[in-house]
Chains A and B, each alone.
Chain A
Amino acid sequence: MRSAAAPIRSGCIDMLSSLTLRAALVSLALLGTFLALWHIATLGSGPVVKMDPQYAKLMGAAAAQGKSAMPTPADVGAKIWQHMQNPFYDRGTNDKGLGIQLAYSIARVGAGYLLAVAIAVPAGFLIGMSPLMHRALDPFIQVLKPISPLAWMPLALYTIKDSSISAIFVIFVCSLWPMLINTAFGVASVRREWLNVAKTLEMPAWRTAWRVILPAAAPTILTGMRISIGIAWLVIVAAEMLVGGTGIGYFVWNEWNNLSIANVITAILFIGLVGMALDQLMACLQRFVSYAD
Chain B
Amino acid sequence: MVRALFPKSRARRAFLRAVGGATALGAIAQFFPLGLVKEVFAAAAPEKKNLKVGFIPITCATPIIMAHPMGFYAKHGLNVEVVKTAGWAVIRDKTLNKEYDAAHMLSPMPLAITLGAGANPIPYTMPAVENINGQAITLAIKHKDKRDPKTWKGFRFAVPFDYSMHNYLLRYYVAEHGLDPDTDIQIRAVPPPEMVANLRAENIDGFLGPDPFNQRAVYDGVGFIHLLSKELWDGHPCCAFAASKEFVTTMPNTYAALLKAIIDATAFAAKQENRKAIAGAIAPANYLNQPETVLEQILTGTYADGLGNVRTDPRRIDFDPFPWDSFAIWILTQMKRWGQIKGDVDYASIAKEVYLATDTAKLMQEVGLTPPLGASKTFKVMGKEFDPSKPEEYIKGFAIKRAA
On A, residues with C-beta under 8 Å from B are 46, 49, 51-52, 54-55, 57-60, 62-63, 69, 91-95, 157-158, 161-163, 241-245, 250, 253-260
Contact = CB atoms under 8 A, between A and B. Distances in A.
Nearest to B290: A258
B220 A94 contact: no
Contacts of B86: 241-244, 250, 253
Nearest to A245: B83
Interface of B: 57, 81-86, 90, 93-94, 97, 99, 193, 196-197, 200, 216, 218-221, 284-287, 289-291, 293, 297, 303-304, 308-310
Given A58-B219, A93-B286, A162-B97, 20 more contacts: A51-B308, A55-B304, A55-B309, A55-B310, A59-B304, A60-B219, A60-B221, A63-B221, A69-B220, A91-B285, A93-B81, A93-B83, A94-B83, A94-B287, A161-B97, A163-B99, A243-B86, A254-B84, A256-B193, A258-B290
A257 B90 contact: no
Contacts of A63: 218-221
A241 B86 CA distance: 7
A91 B90 CA distance: 24
Given A52-B310, A259-B193, A91 B304 contact: no
A157 B85 CA distance: 14
B90 A243 contact: yes
B93 A254 contact: no
B118 to A, nearest CB: 13
A91 B290 contact: no
Contacts of A62: 219-221
Contact of B219 (A51, A59, A91, A92): A59
Nearest to A257: B193
B47 to A, nearest CB: 22
A162 B99 contact: yes
A272 B2 CA distance: 60
A63 to B, nearest CB: 3
Contacts of B308: 49, 51-52, 55
A244 B84 contact: yes
A245 to B, nearest CB: 7
A52 to B, nearest CB: 7
4 closest A-B pairs by CB: A63-B221, A92-B286, A95-B286, A244-B86
A140 to B, nearest CB: 28
Contacts of A94: 82-84, 285-287
B97 to A, nearest CB: 4
Contacts of A91: 284-286
Contacts of B94: 163
B289 to A, nearest CB: 4
Contact of A244 (B90, B284, B303, B304): B90
A245 B82 CA distance: 11
A244 B81 CA distance: 15
A259 B284 contact: no
A280 B146 CA distance: 56
A95 B310 contact: no
Contacts of B220: 60, 62-63, 69, 259
Nearest to B194: A256
Given A62-B221, A259-B193, A157 B93 contact: yes
A21 to B, nearest CB: 43
Contacts of A162: 97, 99
Contacts of A258: 285, 289-291
Contacts of B304: 55, 58-59
Contacts of B303: 58
23 contacts: A51-B308, A52-B308, A54-B310, A55-B308, A59-B218, A59-B221, A59-B304, A63-B219, A63-B220, A94-B82, A94-B285, A94-B287, A95-B285, A161-B97, A162-B97, A163-B93, A163-B99, A241-B86, A244-B90, A250-B86, A254-B84, A254-B289, A260-B289
B297 A58 contact: yes
A118 B223 CA distance: 53
B326 to A, nearest CB: 33
A258 B290 CA distance: 5
A59 B193 CA distance: 18
A179 to B, nearest CB: 29
B50 to A, nearest CB: 12
B49 to A, nearest CB: 16
Nearest to B98: A161
Nearest to A158: B93
Nearest to A58: B304
Contacts of B57: 257
Given A95-B285, A241-B86, A259 B221 contact: no
Contacts of A54: 310
A259 to B, nearest CB: 6
Contacts of A51: 308
A69 B90 CA distance: 30
A158 B96 CA distance: 10
B9 to A, nearest CB: 29
